[in-house]
Structure 1
């Protein structure tokens, strides 16, 4: 069993982004379900989440010790509404939920909200700080709450001196690894200047028939996951950030979560190096091989970024802020979440509807996001008969609004002859 008394290096990364760098990362799951998911069911779900692994807030400490988790049963907020969401207004409703305050230290660190729709369905949103949960943790938290077996935080004894010594040794080892593997930084491309106005990253969620999606992948000598990666790369290319012949690094998140694991964040990333080529539309073999090699390399090599994250835990905020000054966000990220558990997809109701899972920054300015260098991030998940794809535009210059992102995504899906339903924009 993994206890969670102190923040891991991955937890700390997102805490730094939220409270030091002012680029908070917030995750959201949005469900559209049938009317048997009512306010009582949502409130019971909320009770289960309050009693489970999400009932935690972070406590900042004076270094060089790791920040702590504090068991906090009232860390989250549950709200239901009787005001119907108009047909076509699901995206606006979801964005409103996403923009409500979230704070992993002061709380609330998560919000569960629900409202009926004008056509007789129910919209449910779960927004949470990435500090307290990644995709795997939220899948587990909801599944446990629905099944009535929540797993609360288990905090070990505080041993600040022991932790300080072990963290110091880990940081020293990581620093040596950084020096050993250091390579010259790739020059950042010169780009126009964005404004200091607040910018909400545009997102879109679409559903595709899973049988058609899988057949399209097979016809191009690929897998469903390879096709998903190709779609994300295609949207990035259409945005103008990359062109034919360019070399692109694609981040492929991989869960490291074990059974009985209470960590908030338990993942790493494989990195596929690919050259943009129109040949992928006929044959996905090269892209598939690049992704496979990325997974092998992840198991074999030590990522210098991981070492940097470990070092950051031993540093004061001012030093971390300077260290993070040149850091960026992925140009291209494709996170394949796979088949969603029935308990998660239905929330205990009788029918499965589309489920969108996305991650974005909230409250940052367009200038901050442009400087970070991000491009397109996307998440795929599967429920019976349906593949749901959610895209986020992280570049306020290349993808300034929802209309632009929608055009890019639908254009790329059309290039693959994939018909999609836009249900969240």
Structure 2
């Protein structure tokens, strides 16, 4: 359920506190590729319309250190529509990467930005980057399709600083008192969960590969690529292997995870973190409305038989539909969690060397119409800012796979880092191409 009024839901508070504790910002990025110049008038209308609803807000931190943060209004364009200088088509991937690292701030703004790249062959790219603290994929779909159709949702939030400090403190105290019964229940759950997971806590990180050299706190841009695969070929291959489009994605993610050193030494399996949307109707204003559970997939047989992967995915989806697990029940204590504990929480919740695998499903055709007309291709990337090499190597690297069905294609976004590897865009593209080839598939790589 969504948070009442203007207060952040606990899952959104947890996302924001993670950003504050680690300095690592999670973002959503979409790119539209047109084989021609875009309609700039239509694109400017799109840009004007984007800053409403989920994207028309920022976070105002609570007056109390352990208070609940709240949403404040920030409607309209978050900045200028940024039209870049013309580049060669071969520079498209680098430009998308550059845009992913432009400053985003869910408190002071901008919470999102939109850029345009004209290319020397007459084609054009458009990309939107936004803070995950403001919106997830489900909220992004609603925001983008509203902007395409000229609908401007008003959530009715107050402007920043509308309350003086004494009023803010009084409001925070009242909310803490209202939250006490739920907090008490959550603490009991936390005690039970910590006892059950004490062995996992003590061993977290044991299977992670050691850093090749002493890592530094220097910032790192994670390699990211996208693969565009024909939807007919994807579905045909999934059926031939006894699976579905979703289980083929899981098999692809598991095999790619093995290639990036993310298989468990004990049995060679790969842990996939699978998310499912939990968004309700129009009154659900959570930035992140999802449930997450883990599935274990053996990458060994996936290129010849997807039966086991299909079973693992089906069991996880059944679990997610039945309700949140104890980990999600811990969210109400997030305002009281020290920063050091936030940094360690992922080890407990997700275990070692996980691979995030998100099936975005069928993308509404309206979402492909950034300038009012359908783009040839659309890319999806869950990207990061503020990542340091030290943090990456402490975590044993990272792999995120997100795919959506758009038009006649499957668009697969991959972000990956392997301890001790070359970790360039070209390196990751080669891994993706080889993994697709193992399934008898080809894709255009951006």
Q: Does TM-score exceed 0.5, indicating one fold? A: yes
Residue 226 of structure 1: aligned partner? 247
Q: Residues 37 and 122 of structure 2 are in contact (CA less than 8 Å); yes or no, is this contact kept in structure 1?
A: no
Q: Residues 55 and 74 of structure 1 are in contact (CA less than 8 Å); yes or no, is this contact kept in structure 2?
A: yes
1:298 is the counterpart of 2:314: no
Q: Residues 39 and 371 of structure 2 are in contact (CA less than 8 Å); yes or no, is this contact kept in structure 1?
A: no
Shift, 1:83, TM fit: 1.9
Residue 393 of structure 2: aligned partner? 370
Distance in 1 separating the partners of 2:368 and 2:40: 17
Shift, 1:152, TM fit: 2.4
Q: Which residue among 364, 374, 378 is the counterpart of 1:355?
A: 378
Distance in 2 separating the partners of 1:309 and 1:373: 25
Shift, 1:172, TM fit: 2.2
Q: Report SS of the residue matched to 2:312.
A: helix
Residue 35 of structure 1: aligned partner? 36
Q: Which residue among 208, 215, 231 is the counterpart of 1:210?
A: 231
Structure 1 residues 403, 195: closer, same or farther in 2, change over 3 A?
farther
For each residue in 1:19-73, what CA deviation from the matched residue of structure 2 results, as whole angstroms up to 9, or x when unmatched?
Answer: 2221211221111124363332222111111233311110111143210110112
Unaligned ranges ≥5, structure 2: none
Residue 310 of structure 1: aligned partner? 332
Q: Give the alignment's TM-score, normalised by structure 1.
A: 0.92
Q: Report SS of the residue matched to 1:20.
A: helix
Distance in 2 separating the partners of 1:313 and 1:288: 38
Distance in 2 separating the partners of 1:219 and 1:72: 50
Distance in 2 separating the partners of 1:170 and 1:399: 47
Unaligned ranges ≥5, structure 1: none
1:404 is the counterpart of 2:427: yes
Q: Which residue among 412, 425, 432 is the counterpart of 1:389?
A: 412
Q: Which residue among 319, 336, 339 is the counterpart of 1:320?
A: 339
Distance in 1 separating the partners of 2:304 and 2:234: 15
Matches within 5 A, 1:26-425: 26-35=27-36, 37-61=38-62, 62-73=64-75, 76-81=78-83, 83-155=85-157, 159-181=171-193, 182-183=196-197, 184-185=199-200, 186-188=203-205, 189-190=207-208, 191-192=210-211, 193-242=214-263, 245-260=267-282, 261-274=284-297, 276-300=298-322, 302-315=324-337, 319-325=338-344, 327-328=346-347, 331-398=354-421, 400-422=423-445, 424=446
RMSD (Å) for aligned C-alpha atoms: 2.3
Q: Report SS of the residue matched to 1:278.
A: coil
1:13 is the counterpart of 2:34: no
Q: Residues 113 and 124 of structure 1 are in contact (CA less than 8 Å); yes or no, is this contact kept in structure 2?
A: yes
Aligned residue pair count? 419
Q: Residues 4 and 262 of structure 1 are in contact (CA less than 8 Å); yes or no, is this contact kept in structure 2?
A: no
Q: Give the alignment's TM-score, normalised by structure 2.
A: 0.87
Q: Residues 365 and 374 of structure 2 are in contact (CA less than 8 Å); yes or no, is this contact kept in structure 1?
A: no
The range that moved more, 304-313 or 376-385, is 304-313
Structure 1 residues 49, 277: closer, same or farther in 2, change over 3 A?
closer
Structure 1 segments, 4+ long, off by >6 Å, are none
For each residue in 1:169-212, what CA deviation from the matched residue of structure 2 results, as whole angstroms up to 9, or x when unmatched?
Answer: 22221221122233221431251243332111101101111101
Shift, 1:398, TM fit: 4.4
The range that moved more, 25-34 or 334-343, is 25-34
Structure 1 residues 362, 64: closer, same or farther in 2, change over 3 A?
closer
Q: Residues 352 and 383 of structure 1 are in contact (CA less than 8 Å); yes or no, is this contact kept in structure 2?
A: no
Shift, 1:339, TM fit: 1.4
Q: Report SS of the residue matched to 1:387.
A: strand
